[in-house]
């Protein structure tokens, strides 16, 4: 299982348990990861679409 799959599966519980500890920049990073499409060759490379 990939990290992004784990993040998607447990995001609601993560937010519930750690909401008071998550900074705005952490939320932006999580959103960016969820919005990105990773390379299918199992390398640590992200191809993201810019959002405003």
- The pLDDT tens digits of the residues spanning 1-52 come to 778 888 889 999 999 999 999 999 999 988 888 877 654 455 555 556 666 5
> SS3 for 12?
helix
Note the pLDDT of residue 12: 95
Q: 50 phi and psi, to 5 degrees?
A: -65, 140
| Alpha-carbon gap, residue 14 to 24, rounded angstroms | 15
Q: What residue spans define the domains of the chain?
A: 3-47
Per-position b or e across 38-51, b if 16+ CB within 10 A of its CB: beeeeeeeeeeeee
pTM listed for this prediction: 0.62
Q: Which pLDDT does position 39 carry in this prediction?
A: 43
Q: Tens digit of pLDDT for each residue in 14-27?
A: 999 999 999 999 99
pLDDT at res. 22: 93
């Amino acid at each position: 299982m990939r990290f992004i799959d784990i993040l998607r599966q447990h995001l609601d519980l993560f937010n519930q348990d750690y909401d008071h500890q998550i900074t705005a920049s952490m939320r932006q990073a999580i959103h960016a990861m969820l919005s990105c499409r990773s390379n299918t060759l199992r390398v640590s490379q992200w191809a993201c679409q810019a959002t405003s």
